[in-house]
Amino acid sequence: MSVFTAADFHEHEAVAFFHDKASGLKSIIAVHSTALGNSCGGVRMYPYASDDEAVADVLRLSRGMSYKSAIAGLPLGGGKAVIIGDPATEKTESRLLAFADAVNALGGRYITAMDVGVTQKDMPVIAGRTEYVAGYDQPGKTGGDSGPWTALGVFLGLKAAVKQRLERDSTRGLKVAIQGLGKVGMAVARQLHEEGANLLVADVNTEAVQRASSAFGAQPLPVDEIVTAECDVLSPNALGAILDDVSVPKVKAKVIAGGANNQLARQDHGEALRGRGILYAPDYVINGGGIIAVAGQMFDWSDAEIERRVRSIAETLSQIFRRASSEGAPTSLIADCIAEERMAAGKNLRAQAAE
């Protein structure tokens, strides 16, 4: 597979491959854009079935981070890293330190944070060898763990989508199907339960499903049925590419609003959803609370300022919904247009400054 001709290459500025024989590290760092600032995005550790699969994932994720930071109005570009391996059995201190060396090799062009398979306890190890790290709990610093901020943005964004599509100010009495009960999905479930929503839940982790059932009265569903369940709102909070040629025609929800990255398998699935009258909250907009929290830690914003920015996600989505409606375009395309306009403006400013 050639990186330059990969479907998801999309004019990345840099894609770097790192291998450390001593620790066994195999890692890829992708920098999509630095038009608005140094690139930032989490590092994901995952047992990819092939190198091509890892490359495709890091390219999609890094591009998504560019758009996520741009749409959130942050002075950051987009990047992402993957470590190939099973975090349950192959994560070692030496491998994390080797990854830190890889980050250092880019000289600050990429700033790393947490993602799937990398936890709070791993970040101080990485930070012990690189200063280009953020997005975890540090004494005396704001931001920290981005999960709660991501969940708040998803919950408020979901409510904005409900108001737009269902003309309701509350989720009380609505049936919401939640796919994925990790840190974000479980927190969104709690907030929806407190507002009076009726929950359907699914996760490969049966213990998490049991906890949600016990705490929130949620109805468990098999993981292969949650996306097409009878509900008002579908909230995807697991891995991406769940909205594809097979699932989109079967979705019964009127609203899709969740924290998972890259929910659309292809861009044209956004148009397919619009054609069926389903309002889609673009994933990198609604889940922007995480990168806002990371930026807050990097730029020493107060918790109040971080919260203000996270709460503004709902209004950003409302603006996208209104523009999509007036232009007869899918919400995913409108979000992309806004992000690309901001990145283009950033490139122009940099070019002018260099003259």
Give the dihedral sign, CA 271/273/275/279. Answer: negative
CA distance 213 to 193: 11
* Residue whose tokens read 């250092």: 104
The single-letter code of the amino acid at 260 is A
pLDDT at 240: 82
Measured torsion, CA atoms of residues 175, 205, 186, 126, in degrees rounded to the nearest 10: -150
Measured torsion, CA atoms of residues 142, 135, 148, 301, in degrees rounded to the nearest 10: 30
Closest CA to 316 of 162, 153, 146, 79: 153
CA distance 75 to 269: 30
All residues at 6 or more sequence positions from 101 whose CB lies less than 8 Å from its CB, including other chains: 20, 129, 130
Whole-prediction pTM value? 0.90
Q: Show the 3-state SS of 307-352.
A: HHHHHHHHHHHHHHHHHHHHHCCCHHHHHHHHHHHHHHHHHHHHHH
pLDDT at 1: 60
Beta bridge partners of 27: 18, 83
How many C-alpha atoms does 289 have within 13 Å on its Cβ side? 29
Backbone angles phi, psi at 103, to 5 degrees: -60, -45
All residues at 6 or more sequence positions from 226 whose CB lies less than 8 Å from its CB, including other chains: 177, 178, 179, 200, 201, 202, 234
- Counting Cβ atoms within 10 Å, is residue 173 exposed (0-12), middle (13-18) or buried (19+)? exposed
Structure tokens at 196: 């009076």
CA distance 179 to 200: 8
CA distance 14 to 16: 6
Backbone angles phi, psi at 304, to 5 degrees: -65, -40
pLDDT at 351: 63
Backbone angles phi, psi at 19, to 5 degrees: -140, 130
CA distance 193 to 196: 5
pLDDT tens-digit profile, the chain (355 residues): 678 888 778 889 999 999 999 999 999 999 999 999 999 999 999 999 999 999 999 998 999 899 999 999 999 999 999 999 999 999 999 999 999 999 999 999 999 999 889 999 999 999 999 999 998 888 878 777 788 999 999 999 999 999 999 999 999 999 999 999 999 999 999 999 999 999 999 999 999 999 999 999 999 999 999 999 999 999 999 978 899 999 999 999 999 999 998 899 999 999 999 999 999 999 999 999 999 999 999 999 999 999 999 999 999 999 999 999 999 999 999 999 999 999 999 877 776 666 5
pLDDT at 116: 87
User: Helix, strand, or coil here: 89?
Assistant: coil
Q: Are 113 and 149 a contacting pair, CB within 8 Å?
A: no
CA distance 311 to 308: 5
User: Helix, strand, or coil here: 285?
Assistant: helix
pLDDT at 129: 97
The gap between the terminal CA atoms of the chain, to the nearest Å, is 38
pLDDT at 331: 98
Domains in the chain (CATH in brackets) are 14-64+76-127 (3.40.50.10860), 147-340 (3.40.50.720)
Q: Kind of pairing, strands 175-179 and 39-46?
A: unpaired
Q: Are 241 and 7 a contacting pair, CB within 8 Å?
A: no
Has 80 been annotated as catalytic?
yes
pLDDT at 141: 80
The single-letter code of the amino acid at 192 is L
pLDDT at 355: 58
pLDDT at 352: 65
Out of 26, 68, 80, 163, the active site residue is 80
pLDDT at 354: 62
